[in-house]
Amino acid sequence: MATLTQQARAMSTALMPIVNTVLLARAHHGVMAERVDKIQRALIADEKPTTEDGEPITEPRLLYLMEESQWAGFYAKLDQRIRAAGFNVQPGYCPALMAEELVRKAEHAMVDQAAEYIPELTHENLMRNFSKYKEALSLIIGLVVNAPGYTAPTP
């Protein structure tokens, strides 16, 4: 019978590839979000979108408040700028949101794999309290990256 230390080492070794995938996905999302944010801010400065109440929108995170009559033109120009910046995405797709989805999928797979070692780590159990889900992600990553023999991902 394996000791608790042996079980933890086996778990951290088995989870290393998926943890590295999560870490790379998070880094990729950070880069994509920063690049898209710059494009959005420049377009906001040029187009000066407003809310339904006529208030200026100055932050990309507030674009959902944009007056409906401005949406089509704004997002068409945003698509053009995204492609002009070198992104090869379908019209209407946001590179930052696509990268965020990759993070979500990688984290989901990491929890699935960790549940093979800790049966309580199911999505059903963790989603009862979303802060616990995020805490579990941090604990899984911490277990792996702080284990002896951890090898960091190389981009």
Question: Is the CB of residue 89 less than 8 Å from the CB of residue 82?
Answer: yes
Q: What is the mean pLDDT of residues 85-92?
A: 93
pTM of the model: 0.87
Domain ranges of the chain: 16-145
Query: What are the pLDDT digits (tens) for 103-132?
Result: 999 999 999 999 998 888 888 888 887 788
Query: At residue 51, what are phi and psi to the nearest 5 degrees?
Result: -80, 175
DSSP β-bridge partners for residue 66: 51
Q: What is the DSSP letter of 147?
A: S
Query: What are the pLDDT digits (tens) for 46-69?
Result: 999 999 999 999 999 999 999 999
Cα distances from 101 to residues 10, 49, 90, 137, in angstroms, run 29, 27, 15, 16
Residue labelled with tokens 């998070």: 26
Q: Report the chain's terminal Cα–Cα distance, integer Å.
A: 38
Give CA–CA dist 11/109, Å, rounded.
15
In the chain, what percentage of residues exceed pLDDT 70?
97
